């Protein structure tokens, strides 16, 4: 079955649970990637397109099975994880659809879409005002992105924490009724269909559509590129693809690849955009450090306890780095596989000097088969 590949981030919520059945019935879509970190709770039944049988089950898995039940020929991938943790390659598709209530997650999707050169559609609702909206962003060096419309207050809100909520997570942002989520989902599905059908002829720029269901009004706003956007370059990356897996590549291998490309005179380094490496953890009990080298998002449960006193190990600012420098790295670390560093298939690493670099995707994305 030929057709488009569509990625849905936040596939199980107030909007996403209504969106997935629309996409499953689309004749233009052949592959759905459904991403959601959460599990259904009893309270979700009243506002989301699920039944009581879904309670305590992973949202991504529930929606994947629903989509496949609607269209058995559809290829569906379920990913139960935070979008911030995922390899960039996991978000590659013809269109990305975001149904999120977090600025941080939206920012992550915005960066991924720009780097991959993929259009994306953001959807949201405001329950108390009965507002449903979608924002359509298309790739292009001169095209607007999500952050083109952000000011200092938006960036400050990213860092807000909610200590009174479970796990410090934000409380439900909308309390929107099921019908409003369904309205936003239908609008998002329609705009997705336009992008899939138009392909290379899709319009430049961006737009926002708002439906005011409380007052029966419809608003359409054109987006413009902000020359002072913090994202900087809006162009897509040129990404080289390596068949080798993270298990089969060491730091020595990838630094050697960069050295052959740029020469031995450059200050070679490796980074993963949006992620940092942990080099050291500090014990909150005895104070002893534990040295390791791993992506912060890939720390394992066993990494959080001190082997000497059993107290919790914490990441400190001095123990975090955004870039691994080849110069001066111990031989034993150079022989570590990328898998040991916490990199997964589909991860895109940036190799080179601070002046010249290249972007390389390691291996194929895991789990890109039917769920």
Query: Does the predicted model carry a pTM greater than 0.85?
Result: yes
- Does residue 354 surpass a pLDDT of 80? no
Q: Is residue 231 part of a domain?
A: no
Closest CA to 135 of 192, 78, 87: 192
Q: Are residues 185 and 305 in the same domain?
A: no
The phi, psi pair for 8, rounded to 5°, reads -115, 120
Region class of 305: left (phi > 0), else alpha (psi between -120 and 50), else beta: beta
Beta strand residue intervals within 269-338, DSSP E:
269-271, 277-283, 289-295, 313-315, 320-321, 323-325
Residue 97 located in a structural domain:
yes
Looking at the structure, tell me whether residues 53 and 144 fall in a common domain: yes
| Average pLDDT along the chain | 90
Does 368 reside within a domain?
no
Q: What is the pLDDT of residues 306-332, one digit of tens each?
A: 988 989 999 888 899 999 999 989 999
> Do 50 and 162 have their domain in common?
yes
pLDDT on residue 263: 80
pLDDT of residue 367: 44
Q: Please indicate, yes or no, whether residues 97 and 138 belong to a single structural domain of this protein.
A: yes
Q: Is residue 370 part of a domain?
A: no
- Locus of tokens 């900087």: 232
CA dist., res. 146 & res. 159, Å (int): 17
Instruction: Please check whether residue 297 lies inside any domain of the structure.
Output: yes
Total tally of structural domains belonging to the chain:
2
Query: 213-228: per-residue pLDDT in tens?
Result: 999 999 999 999 999 9
Mean pLDDT of 52-59: 97
Q: Residue 235: in which H helix or E strand, if any? A: none
Residues of the domain holding 334? 239-362
Q: Which residues sit opposite 5 in a β-bridge? A: 31
Q: How far is CA 210 from CA 24, 122, 184, 256, in A?
A: 24, 12, 9, 51
């Amino acid at each position: 079955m030929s057709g488009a590949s569509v990625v849905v981030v936040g596939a199980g919520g107030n909007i996403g649970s209504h969106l997935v059945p629309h996409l499953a019935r689309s004749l233009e879509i052949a592959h759905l990637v459904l991403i959601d970190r959460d599990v259904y709770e009893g309270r979700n039944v009243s506002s989301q397109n699920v039944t009581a049988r879904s309670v305590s089950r992973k949202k991504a898995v529930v929606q994947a099975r629903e989509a496949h039940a609607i269209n058995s020929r559809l290829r569906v991938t379920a990913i139960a994880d935070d979008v911030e943790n995922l390899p960039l390659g996991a978000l590659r598709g013809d269109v990305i659809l975001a149904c999120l209530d977090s600025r941080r997650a939206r920012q992550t999707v915005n960066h991924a879409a720009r780097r991959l050169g993929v259009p994306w559609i953001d959807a949201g609702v405001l329950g108390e005002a009965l507002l449903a909206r979608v924002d359509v962003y298309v790739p292009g060096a001169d095209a607007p992105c999500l952050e083109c419309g952000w000011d200092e207050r938006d960036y400050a809100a990213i860092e807000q924490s909610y200590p009174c909520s479970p796990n410090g997570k934000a409380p439900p942002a909308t309390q929107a009724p099921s019908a409003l989520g369904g309205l936003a989902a239908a609008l998002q599905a329609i705009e997705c269909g336009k992008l899939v059908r138009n392909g290379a002829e899709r319009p430049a720029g961006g737009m926002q559509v708002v439906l005011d269901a409380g007052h029966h009004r419809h608003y359409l706003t054109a987006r413009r590129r902000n020359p002072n956007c913090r994202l900087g370059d809006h162009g897509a990356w040129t990404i080289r693809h390596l068949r080798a897996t993270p298990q089969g590549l060491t730091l020595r291998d990838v630094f050697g690849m960069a050295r052959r490309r740029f020469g031995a005179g450059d200050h070679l380094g490796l980074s993963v955009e949006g992620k940092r490496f942990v080099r050291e953890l500090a014990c909150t009990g005895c104070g002893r450090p534990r040295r390791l080298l791993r992506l912060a998002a890939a720390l394992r449960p066993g990494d959080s306890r001190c082997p000497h006193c059993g107290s919790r190990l914490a990441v400190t600012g001095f123990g975090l780095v955004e870039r691994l420098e080849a110069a001066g790295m111990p031989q034993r670390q150079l022989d570590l596989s990328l898998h040991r560093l916490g990199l997964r298939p589909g991860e895109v690493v940036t190799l080179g000097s601070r002046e010249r670099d290249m972007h390389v995707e390691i291996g194929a994305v895991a789990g890109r088969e039917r769920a």
